[in-house]
């Protein structure tokens, strides 16, 4: 029986000829059928290409029946095999070119090499994409028009009317990319930013921040928002707003200072540090914990900020925060504490916090290797800072057994070396017999 040989086919058989459909003709011929929700728009004469529509709607969920089983992409030129299975023509021809003369879905051997164009399915695919494309296009036009109306209103209204307008704009830009683009292209960033100032109420400020944090800002917009009066208001709102507002403030201030060390250092006031600590302590809202810790990591990279951070009581609060955190947040906390352990005040605060050593010891070889590295670095810093006091506490917390486990493991050689050094440091004040008894190794082995 002659089988299908794609190499012998003319290229014209393989090439997909893009279908182009005029909207007016489609409506006239009733291809979309009655009651399909065809939307009349100002671009009715626009010709729509199926390939282009598929590209523009790539993030949209497509009906399974329109998907080619081989490529898992929407079909443009579907053909049906003798087994009844349908594929995109170019994909099944490629399958055949590899010498596979079976049905990819059923793996049945083909008894007929013909490819039957599935015109009905092709038209359904085109019609579905056509209708969806127009619907989204119309919705985008509606959103764009509404955003322009809101921006015009914001030039005139005050009081509660201004709050309502900003609230609606915030809700729109959170959902629609078209809205964000429209705000930026129509001078909305400058207009909305101008509403922030020393006399702005927190209600208005919260809504303004909720809008701006969703926009793409250029360098001029960032410089404008970094004015002291505006950053001061953002920090005040961070300390007093709702959890959503706190997160928005944190993300916006970080976005404004990203890549600008001078700016991130200058905004790091005591009030900002306190506000971020309050945010990360609220474990009920993991998004807030992550946003706050991520920004604190950036801020604490500046040595000039670390003393201030220790002075507001950050160390015990971060130490108490560690239990129950996911690995991402835990690494951020440990990273910040390690930075603080590099200054005398930070080491003293870590030593004086009762749970620093127990919490750090528990994390050795428990979470990620990075967590182990950071916890080990913190333990080394405080044990070296006050060996007589801290070594005993660390051994009582089970440090020796954990260090021996690291040394015998397959982890980083640097960690093994640091573990050996820390073990030696902890043993200096004891005889060998007393040290071994304090290590509780027998109990650990059992």
Q: What percent of the chain has pLDDT over 90?
A: 45
In which residue are the tokens 């043993």 written?
427
* Cβ–Cβ under 8 Å, residues 111 and 82: yes
Phi, psi torsion values for 102, nearest 5 degrees: -130, 170
Last residue of a domain, one of 83, 115, 137: 137
Higher-pLDDT residue of 17, 295: 295
Give residue 436's pLDDT band: very low, low, confident or very high (50, 70, 90): low
For the chain, percent of residues with pLDDT exceeding 70: 83
- The whole-number pLDDT of residue 319 equals 94
Q: How does residue 41 score in pLDDT terms, banded at 50, 70 and 90?
A: very low
Query: pLDDT at position 48, please?
Result: 62
Of 109, 137, 165, the residue at which a domain comes to its end is 137
213, part of any domain: no
Mean pLDDT of the chain, nearest integer? 82
Q: What is the pLDDT, as a whole number, of residue 144?
A: 82
Q: What is the CATH classification number for the domain harbouring 63?
A: 3.30.40.10
The β-bridge relationship of strands 78-80 and 116-117 is antiparallel
For residue range 130-153, what is the model confidence (pLDDT) as tens digits?
Answer: 888 877 777 666 778 888 888 988
Residue 333 within a domain:
no
User: Per residue in 359-396, pLDDT tens?
Assistant: 999 998 887 888 999 999 999 999 999 888 888 888 88
CB-CB contact of 90 with 8 (8 Å): no
Tell me, yes or no, whether 414 lies in a domain: yes
Q: Does 364 reside within a domain?
A: yes
Number of domains in the chain: 2
The number of C-alpha atoms within 13 Å of 220 and in the hemisphere containing its C-beta is 4
Query: How far is Cα of residue 405 from the mean position of the Cα atoms in its chain?
Result: 35
Q: Which residues contact 178 (CB under 8 A, 6 or more apart)?
A: 140, 143, 144, 147
329 found inside a domain: no
Per-residue pLDDT at 51: 77
pLDDT in tens, 239-250: 988 999 999 999
CA-CA distance, 376 to 392, in Å (whole number)?
16
Q: CA-CA distance, 77 to 126, in Å (whole number)?
A: 10
The per-residue pLDDT for range 341-353, each reduced to its tens digit, is 999 999 999 999 9
In the chain the first and final C-alpha atoms are separated, in Å, by: 73
Question: For position 217, what pLDDT does the model report?
Answer: 92
| Cα separation, 371 vs 344, whole angstroms | 22
Task: Enter the pTM of the model.
Answer: 0.67
For 99: left if phi > 0, alpha if psi spans -120 to 50, otherwise beta; the answer is: left
Confirm whether 398 is domain-assigned: yes
Mean pLDDT of 82-104: 91
Six token digits for residue 100: 């596979």
Band the pLDDT of 79: cuts 50, 70, 90: very high
When pLDDT is cut at 50, 70 and 90, the band that residue 44 belongs to is: very low
Q: Is the residue at 118 inside a domain?
A: yes
Q: What is the pLDDT of residue 261?
A: 79
pLDDT band (50, 70, 90) for residue 20: very low
Task: Name the residue with tokens 């208001």.
Answer: 233
Name the residue among 293, 216, 299 with its Cα closest to residue 257.
299
Question: 11, 10, 46: which is closest to 26 by C-alpha?
Answer: 46
Q: Is 22 exposed, middle or buried (0-12, 13-18, 19+ CB in 10 A)?
A: middle
Per-residue pLDDT for 3 more than 70? no
Q: How confident is the model at residue 49 (pLDDT cuts 50, 70, 90)?
A: confident
What pLDDT, in 10s, does the model give residues 173-223? Answer: 988 888 898 899 989 999 999 999 888 999 999 999 999 999 999 999 999
What CA–CA distance (Å, rounded) separates 148 from 150? 5
What residues does 80 pair with on adjacent strands?
A: 86, 116
Q: What is the pLDDT of residues 321-332, one digit of tens each?
A: 998 889 999 999
**Residue-range definition of the domain harbouring residue 364:** 343-446
Residue 254: which pLDDT band, with cuts at 50, 70 and 90? very high
Instruction: Walk across the sheet containing 116-117 and list its strands.
Output: 86-88, 78-80, 116-117
Last residue of a domain, one of 137, 155, 170: 137
Domain contains 286 = no
Burial of 262 from C-beta contacts in 10 A (0-12 / 13-18 / 19+) = exposed
pLDDT mean over 84-103: 91
């Amino acid at each position: 029986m002659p089988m299908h040989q794609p190499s012998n086919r003319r290229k014209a058989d393989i090439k997909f000829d893009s279908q182009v459909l005029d909207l007016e003709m489609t409506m006239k011929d009733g291809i979309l059928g009655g009651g399909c929700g065809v939307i009349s728009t100002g671009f009715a004469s626009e010709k729509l290409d199926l390939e282009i529509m598929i590209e523009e709607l790539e993030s949209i969920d497509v009906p399974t029946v329109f998907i080619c089983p081989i490529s898992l992409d929407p079909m443009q030129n579907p053909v049906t095999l003798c087994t009844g299975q349908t594929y995109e023509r170019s994909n099944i021809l490629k399958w055949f070119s590899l010498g596979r003369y079976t049905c990819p879905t059923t793996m049945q051997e083909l008894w007929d090499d013909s490819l039957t164009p599935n015109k009905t399915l092709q038209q359904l695919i085109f019609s579905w994409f056509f209708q969806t494309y127009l619907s989204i296009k119309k919705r985008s036009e509606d959103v764009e028009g509404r955003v322009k109306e809101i921006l015009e209103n914001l030039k005139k209204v005050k009081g509660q009317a201004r709050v309502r307008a900003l609230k609606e704009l915030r809700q729109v830009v959170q959902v629609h990319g078209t809205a964000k683009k429209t705000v930026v292209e129509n001078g909305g960033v400058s207009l909305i930013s101008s509403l922030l100032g020393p006399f702005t109420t927190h209600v208005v400020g919260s809504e303004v921040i909720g809008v701006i944090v969703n926009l793409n800002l250029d360098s001029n917009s960032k410089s404008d928002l970094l004015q002291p009066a505006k950053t001061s208001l953002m920090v005040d709102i961070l300390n007093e707003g709702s959890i959503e507002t706190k997160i928005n403030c944190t993300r916006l201030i970080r976005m404004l200072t990203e890549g600008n060390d001078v700016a991130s250092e200058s905004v790091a006031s005591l009030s900002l540090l306190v506000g971020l600590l309050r945010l990360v302590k609220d474990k009920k809202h993991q998004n807030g914990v992550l946003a706050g810790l991520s920004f604190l990591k950036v801020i604490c990279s500046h040595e000039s900020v670390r003393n201030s951070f220790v002075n507001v009581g950050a160390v015990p609060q971060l130490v108490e925060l560690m239990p129950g955190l996911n690995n991402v947040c835990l690494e951020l906390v440990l990273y910040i504490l390690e930075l603080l352990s590099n200054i005398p005040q930070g080491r003293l605060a870590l030593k004086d916090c009762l749970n620093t050593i127990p919490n750090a010891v528990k994390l050795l070889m428990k979470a990620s290797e990075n967590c182990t590295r950071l916890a080990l670095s913190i333990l080394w810093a405080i044990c070296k800072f006050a060996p007589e006091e801290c070594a005993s506490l660390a051994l009582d917390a089970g440090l020796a057994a954990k260090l021996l486990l690291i040394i015998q493991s397959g982890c980083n050689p640097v960690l093994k070396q640091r573990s050996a050094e820390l073990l030696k440091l902890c043993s200096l004040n004891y005889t060998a017999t007393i040290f071994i008894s304090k290590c509780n190794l027998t109990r650990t082995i059992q």
